[in-house]
Amino acid sequence: MRKTPRFFGLHAEPRFALALALLPFAILISFYLYSSYERLKENPSDKLLPSANQMANAAVKMATVEDPTTEGITVFGHTFPTPYLLGDTLASFKRFYIGVIAYSLLGLILGLNMGVFPGLRTLLLPFVVALSNVPPITIFPILLIAFGADDFSKIVIIFLAGFFTITRDIYLAVEKMPKEQITKALTLGASQLQVVYRIVLPQIKPRFFESLRLSLPSAWVYLITAEYISAAQGLGYRISLMRRTLGMDVIIPYVILITLLAVSADWALKSFIAWRYSWYGKKEE
């Protein structure tokens, strides 16, 4: 009897899975700390690779020092000062989630109806496919000219980053459904809208959340890029501002924060799909 491999091989069953998962992170952090130590030993004023202590101090400062360019947060009639880190995070969150909610809902509705109604598919599918191949960042200068540097232009770029992807993915999911289901529903007296929203929609909901989950990294990229180019507040804006003075002690903690926010959103959606749609058999990584 052949022994089951523990790491290599198609049918391997790795032991100490958590330790293996954490190993690449440990190697990366150790490499950075060693490189930082060597650079600072030669030049204590070096800014390229700040130490963990320097980054911690900068992060605490950004999290506690009030941003004088903002008016603060008003809660129940009382205005509280806004530290740099909180203000930047809230500004980015606002743009990100408005854009994501807009493109996910509209993409779901359009893709769903395109997959069911041939006339709508014939009318809009070539248009959706053509625009889905245009990198949204290439039209960001046009958005800045048309809508200015306010939040709306950034929300639009996030919308464009995910809308066409969600629309096409939902359309393809509906296309793969057995057409006999629609025929039987119509035969039993269901209306066309009942077929769309009571028969087809429940079956493609897990695919919708999966598509939404896969679209979030692109949304983050376009948000940070848009803030980097033109913004007065936000995570991308602060990174752009600190770059001018080589403020790596601030940039790296901000990058870590963005990573944690993105990973948390991905984990939340993945957990929701596994909990709410346990019958959805496709395993996510």
Model confidence over 210-262: pLDDT tens digits? Answer: 999 999 999 999 999 999 988 888 999 999 999 988 899 999 999 999 999 99
Single out the residue in 64, 96, 121 at which a domain terminates. 64
Q: What span, in angstroms and rounded, lies between the C-alpha atoms of 116 and 190?
A: 14
Residues of the chain with pLDDT under 70: 1-7, 10, 72-80, 281-285
Q: What span, in angstroms and rounded, lies between the C-alpha atoms of 71 and 53?
A: 31
| CATH number of the domain residue 252 falls in | 1.10.3720.10
Q: Which residue range(s) make up the domain with 32? A: 17-64
Same domain, 102 and 235: yes
Same domain, 36 and 161: no
3-state secondary structure the chain: CCCCCCCCCCCCCCCCHHHHHHHHHHHHHHHHHHHHHHHHHHCCCCCCCCCHHHHHHHHHHHHHCECCCCCCEEECCEEECCEHHHHHHHHHHHHHHHHHHHHHHHHHHHHHHHHHCHHHHHHHHHHHHHHHCCCHHHHHHHHHHHHCCCHHHHHHHHHHHHHHHHHHHHHHHHHCCCHHHHHHHHHCCCCHHHHHHHHHHHHHHHHHHHHHHHHHHHHHHHHHHHHHHCCCCCHHHHHHHHHCCCCHHHHHHHHHHHHHHHHHHHHHHHHHHHHHCCCCCCCCC
- CB contact at 8 A, 237 and 188: no
User: 142 lies in a domain?
Assistant: yes
Same domain, 48 and 157: no
Check residue 21 and give its pLDDT: 86
Same domain, 171 and 255: yes
Same domain, 157 and 127: yes
User: 98 lies in a domain?
Assistant: yes
Q: What are 274's two structure tokens? A: 């596994």
Check residue 220 and give its pLDDT: 94
User: 213 lies in a domain?
Assistant: yes
Same domain, 52 and 78: no
User: 282 lies in a domain?
Assistant: no
Q: What is the pLDDT of residues 44-63, one digit of tens each?
A: 888 889 999 999 999 999 99
Same domain, 130 and 52: no
- For 251, residues 6+ apart whose C-beta sits below 8 A from its C-beta are 239, 242, 243
Check residue 5 and give its pLDDT: 62
Same domain, 47 and 135: no
Q: What span, in angstroms and rounded, lies between the C-alpha atoms of 60 and 73?
A: 19
Check residue 136 and give its pLDDT: 87
Same domain, 60 and 77: no
What pTM, to 2 d.p., does this model score? 0.87
Number of domains in the chain: 2
User: 11 lies in a domain?
Assistant: no
User: 124 lies in a domain?
Assistant: yes
Check residue 285 and give its pLDDT: 45
Check residue 283 and give its pLDDT: 45
- For 212, residues 6+ apart whose C-beta sits below 8 A from its C-beta are 100, 104, 162, 166, 269
Same domain, 58 and 157: no
Same domain, 44 and 93: no
Q: What span, in angstroms and rounded, lies between the C-alpha atoms of 158 and 96?
A: 7
Same domain, 214 and 195: yes
User: 1 lies in a domain?
Assistant: no
User: 284 lies in a domain?
Assistant: no
- CB contact at 8 A, 230 and 176: no
- For 154, residues 6+ apart whose C-beta sits below 8 A from its C-beta are 95, 99, 223, 226, 227, 231
Check residue 196 and give its pLDDT: 87
